[in-house]
Amino acid sequence: MPRVLSIFRRPRRERRFQRGVYLLPGMFTVGNMFCGWASIVFAMRGDYATAAPLIGFAMILDTLDGRIARMTGTSSDFGVEFDSLADVISFGVAPAVLVFSWGLESLGRFGWAAGFLYVTATAIRLARFNIQGKGGDRRYFVGLPSPPAAGVLAGTVYAYPGGLDNVVASASALAIVLVAAGLMVSRIRYRSFHTLIPGRRQPSLVLLVVAGVIAAIASNPPVVLALMAYTYLASGLIGLVISRVRRRQRTEEQLQPQQEPRRDRSAS
């Protein structure tokens, strides 16, 4: 009799296990969304030193939910849409509210208009990624991804958590927001994160690089995180300039007329 009951219980346990596996990526997505919401709450209170790192934690959770979904084979259309909605909050609304409360509020309508423009650019970037993400070259992103764009804003606030109290400084913050928003909807290519790790096929070298990054961040978190965010933002622009220079050189080489071989007068 116990054996008969165990036969009927196994499929139910397996179904529960499968449900748990499918829920696991969603739990990380919920954590991502919670960090975005908490960042908004702390930004409205004026606690920018706490609000900015929460966006960084949201970036980590956003990376983990996709990795876990692929590793466990639990990717689904629902998970993709749920992740995008969470990203709009964590990497769109939260950074916009953070920067507005930190340095754009003194600009009045220009400040909240810039924040709204940033949220709109984030939504467009995520919608375009959902459509084009399945095809194309996986080594590159088309346009600045929304998590690094949010990292630029959060890193800036984290480096200067005191806030901006004059119009000149607020204008510089406005420029940062507009540049990040424009790069998200641009066609500039950015390297995928897994291609940035040197020697990624050698586990020992990867661990050494990760340890070096952690040590650098631990030495001075605000400066190092802001430097990493701006370096990645500038990498796409530098790559665009290099690709155009190379393309121009190839075009000039193709347009150059081929020199005819000189005739030997002695032969004639």
Residue 254 is predicted with a pLDDT of 79
Domain positions in the chain are 2-255
pLDDT band at 19 (very low <50, low <70, confident <90, very high): low
Look-up of token digits 């409205």: 44
For residues 141 and 190, is the Cβ–Cβ distance under 8 A?
A: yes
From 3.40.50.300, 3.30.830.10, 1.10.10.10, 1.20.120.1760, which CATH number describes the 2-255 domain?
A: 1.20.120.1760
Cβ atoms of residues 90 and 150 within 8 Å? yes
Q: What is the dihedral of CA 80, 25, 151, 245, to 10 degrees?
A: -50
Q: What is the pLDDT of residue 200?
A: 58
Bigger pLDDT: 156 vs 256? 156
Are 152 and 180 within 8 A, CB to CB?
yes
Q: Read off the pLDDT band of 120 (50, 70, 90).
A: very high
pLDDT tens-place string over residues 165-207: 888 889 999 999 999 999 999 999 998 876 666 655 667 777 7
Rounded distance between C-alpha atoms, residue 102 and residue 111, angstroms: 11
Q: CA angle 231-146-222, nearest 5°? A: 45
